[in-house]
Every structure is written in structure tokens, then in C-alpha cells.
């Protein structure tokens, strides 16, 4: 019997995402000047106020106030009527040194500087389990409902920042939600419902304004989202989609003034929109020694390469760790019965363990995670993004540094041939 599945996304101006972006901007700046930095940075944003808290081990000094204000300004909180504005908000920093008790399990001294010695010396930054997921229902191997929910808000952000005359009333805070009907064999049939709530300027005539917002989203935003999809997906955009646009009415008060934001509260938006599974750990604000982040990227890398190689139509990969221990406690694979090889999932997992070194240091090296690559992850999902090389500039203590980095390395399909060889595909 056909079924419905729903995923949501939030814009870069959503208060939780504001917090995530500040935390990850701090991570990038620490790593740019000291790649060995250990950082766990939490951010709270509310009316006119930012609070930074967390543990740092680094050899560099940063102007955290300037970094924070730059992030808020880039997001678009630049007007006093927002009640949260880049130049005037208060910023309180409670960052302090990392616990030596935690650090001793992560930074054990290697016997030598060779790869094996360092990989065995660096233990996991915490215990826990992390999941990666991939499906062949989209070109980027992401679940379609989440992919479309992200796409709607990215297009609205593009309009707000680059074509403001089209929808000049848009403010930074927004949410979207997409419900898709699937067939018995898990193929998308149609889009059932689209929900969009967007913050907007205040107007004297609320009823007219709400009608205008709905009309613009349906007639401007959705056609652009549709056009950006593969032709095979165009048929999903029927005339029978149910739209809920700002269903509660006016949405003038938003952002950190409308709702307090915290780092790490949008972990399902950050990953797979509810598909697969989630270990519970947030990503933003954590350097890659924290396996909550690095191992989640590594399991996504595994899952995407397995599906891209044709091993299965969809797959969930789990890895788990003990704090201070390099070797994972276990690796689990679930192909949901879609495997194209005559092997049980446990046998597939054994082969995967041989292909992918999941020790924390090995993950850091394989995916180049000790680089300042995290600001780009902090809005519109950490997975399914474009792998590319970019140049970024950072400033500290009056010094400027330009670095070339590779973004979203966990989205590379660089293990497809190895998977095919290992499984005889």
C-alpha cells in the first residue's frame, strides 16, 4: 500500500541555525590558525544577545566577537527592527580550556610519526554510535523529501540575497516541509504536501500580504525548484499539491527574537530528514576528534559509495566507539533487503570494515577534516552537498591567512571502484 513520508528543513536565519553557524565559524577560524585545535563550542542566541560557551585547546587567539558579528551580518540580521542585529547585539564568551581528563584519551603520544602509530594512538573523543545513510532515489543519494525541503529554502535565500525585488518582504527566518507519497516498492509517486513558513516585513493589510506571500511561493519559488530537478522528477509536481503557506498567519517576529536558538538542535535537518537513523550527537561546534562529527561523515561516505557502486538501492551504516579507544566497537550495515550480491548484511559489513579504516585519525586524514571546512555545513544539511575546492580567508590578531580547502569530502565517490572490486560488481 502507498505511504507518505515527510521531512523538514530550516533556513540559515532560523535561530538554531544561527547558533550552528556561529559555532562552526569559530571552529574554522581555530583550525585555520592551529589545525590541531580541540574545540567543543556551544552557542545560544536570543533577543539582542549571543552566549558562547565551551572547551578549547589551541595555540591561537581569536576575536570571537568579530567572528560572531560577521556571521550574523552575513545571515542577514542587519536591521534594528529584527531585535537581533549584528552590530548591536551583546556577545558574552564563556569559552575555557578543555578538560585534561578528556584530552588524555584523545591525544596519547604516538610511538612514532608514521600513520599506524598515530592512528592507534588517537582515541575517540567520546563514546557513542553514528549513522550514515544513502539512497538512489536522487542524484546526490539523499532522501527526496529532505532534498526538496532544502531546495525550497535555498531558493528563497537566493531570492532574498540576490533578487530581492522579486520578494522584497522576505526576512531571514524560514522553515519548510515536504510530504511525498511513495509506492509499495518505495518509489516516489507525487508530492502530497508542501509547508512553508517564512518571516516577513510588517504590513498594514495582513490578509493581502499573506495572499501575496502564498502566491509568490507557489508561482515563483516552486517552479524554480522544479526546474532545478532532474526531468524524471518533474512529474511529481502536480496541480494537486496541498500548500500550507504561513498557516498560522503573520510571521513578523522571528529569528532569535522570536525563539531562542541553540547549537545542535537541528540534527535531523542536518542529516537525512528522519530516514535511516541518528545516533543523537550534534555536529556543529565540534572539531573532528569528536566522532559525533567525523564518524557521521565517514559513515555517510561509506553508504554513498556502496549505493553508487550498485551494491544496494539504499543502506544504513552504523559505527560505534568507546572514549579514548581508536578501534571502533563495531560496524553494522543494513541494506533493507536491496543488496545485489548474495551476501547477508553481516558479511557485507565485514568486507566494508576491510575497505574503510574507521579509526578517528584515519578518518581525519582520509576526509581531510583538520581543515577549516565547517561553516559551509552549518545550514541546509551536512550531507548531499557539492564536493568542491575553494579559497577562504581568515583573520586573527591583525594577520590575514588565505587557505585552499576541499569541502564535503565525504560526498566523494572515490571508493566506488574499490567497492565494486571487493564485491565482484
What residues form the annotated binding site for ATP? 14, 173-175, 250-251, 259, 265-266, 282, 286
The β-bridge relationship of strands 330-334 and 314-321 is antiparallel
Q: Hey, which bits of 247-376 come out as E strands?
A: 261-262, 314-321, 330-334
Residues of the binding site: 14, 16, 42, 55, 98, 173-175, 250-251, 259, 265-266, 282, 286, 290
Residue 195 in 3-state DSSP?
strand
CA gap 188, 144 in Å, rounded = 8
CB-based burial label for 104 (10 Å; 0-12, 13-18, 19+): exposed
Residues of the binding site for L-methionine: 55, 98, 259, 290
For the packed helices 291-308 and 416-423, what is the interaxial angle rounded to 10 degrees?
60
What does R_g of the chain's alpha carbons equal in angstroms?
22
Cα-Cα-Cα-Cα torsion 74, 75, 77, 83, nearest 10 degrees, comes to: -140
Residues of the binding site for Mg(2+): 16
CA gap 3, 183 in Å, rounded = 7
Buried b / exposed e along 24-53 (16+ C-beta atoms within 10 A): bbbbbbbbbbbeebbbbbbbbbbbeebbbb
Cα 345 from chain centroid (whole Å)? 27
CA gap 305, 141 in Å, rounded = 9
Amino acid at each position: 500500500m502507498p505511504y507518505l513520508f515527510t521531512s523538514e528543513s530550516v533556513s540559515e536565519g532560523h535561530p538554531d541555525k544561527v547558533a550552528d553557524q556561529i559555532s562552526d565559524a569559530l571552529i574554522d577560524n581555530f583550525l585555520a590558525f592551529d589545525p590541531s585545535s580541540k574545540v567543543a563550542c556551544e552557542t545560544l542566541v536570543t533577543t539582542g544577545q549571543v552566549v558562547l560557551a565551551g572547551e578549547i585547546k589551541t595555540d591561537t587567539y581569536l576575536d570571537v566577537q568579530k567572528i560572531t558579528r560577521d556571521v550574523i551580518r552575513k545571515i542577514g540580521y542587519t536591521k534594528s527592527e529584527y531585535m537581533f542585529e549584528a552590530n548591536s547585539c551583546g556577545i558574552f564568551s564563556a569559552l575555557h580550556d578543555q578538560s585534561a581528563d578528556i584530552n588524555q584519551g584523545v591525544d596519547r603520544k604516538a610511538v612514532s610519526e608514521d600513520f599506524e602509530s598515530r592512528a592507534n594512538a588517537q582515541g575517540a573523543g567520546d563514546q557513542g554510535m553514528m549513522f550514515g545513510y544513502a539512497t538512489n532515489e536522487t542524484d546526490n543519494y539523499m532522501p527526496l523529501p529532505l532534498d526538496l525541503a532544502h531546495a525550497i529554502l535555498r531558493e528563497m535565500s537566493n531570492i532574498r540575497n540576490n533578487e530581492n525585488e522579486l520578494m522584497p518582504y522576505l526576512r531571514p527566518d524560514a522553515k519548510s516541509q515536504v510530504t511525498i507519497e511513495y509506492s509499495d516498492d518505495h518509489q516516489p509517486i507525487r508530492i502530497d504536501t508542501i509547508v512553508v513558513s517564512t518571516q516577513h516585513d510588517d504590513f498594514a493589510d495582513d490578509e493581502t500580504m499573506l495572499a501575496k506571500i502564498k502566491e509568490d511561493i507557489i508561482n515563483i519559488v516552486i517552479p524554480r525548484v522544479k526546474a532545478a530537478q532532474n526531468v524524471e522528477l518533474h512529474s511529481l509536481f502536480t496541480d494537486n499539491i496541498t500548500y500550507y503557506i504561513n498557516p498560522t498567519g503573520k510571521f513578523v517576529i522571528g529569528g532569535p527574537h522570536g525563539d531562542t536558538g541553540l547549537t545542535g538542535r537541528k540534527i535531523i535537518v542536518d542529516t537525512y530528514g528522519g530516514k535511516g537513523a541518528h545516533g543523537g550527537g550534534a555536529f556543529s561546534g565540534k572539531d573532528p576528534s569528536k566522532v559525533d562529527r567525523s564518524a557521521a561523515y565517514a559513515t555517510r561516505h561509506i553508504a554513498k559509495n556502496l549505493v553508487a557502486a550498485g551494491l544496494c538501492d539504499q543502506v544504513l551504516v552504523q559505527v560505534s566507539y568507546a572514549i579514548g579507544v581508536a578501534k571502533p566497537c563495531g560496524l553494522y550495515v543494513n541494506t533493507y533487503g536491496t543488496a545485489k550480491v548474495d551476501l547477508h548484511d553481516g558479511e557485507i559489513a565485514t568486507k566494508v570494515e576491510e575497505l574503510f579504516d574507521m579509526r578517528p585519525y584515519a578518518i581525519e586524514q582520509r576526509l581531510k577534516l583538520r581543515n577549516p571546512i565547517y561553516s559551509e555545513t552549518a545550514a541546509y544539511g551536512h550531507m548531499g552537498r557539492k564536493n568542491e575546492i575553494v579559497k577562504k580567508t581568515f583573520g586573527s590578531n591583525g594577520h590575514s591567512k588565505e587557505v585552499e580547502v576541499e569541502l564535503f569530502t565525504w560526498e566523494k565517490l572515490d571508493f566506488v571502484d574499490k567497492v565494486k572490486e571487493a564485491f565482484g560488481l
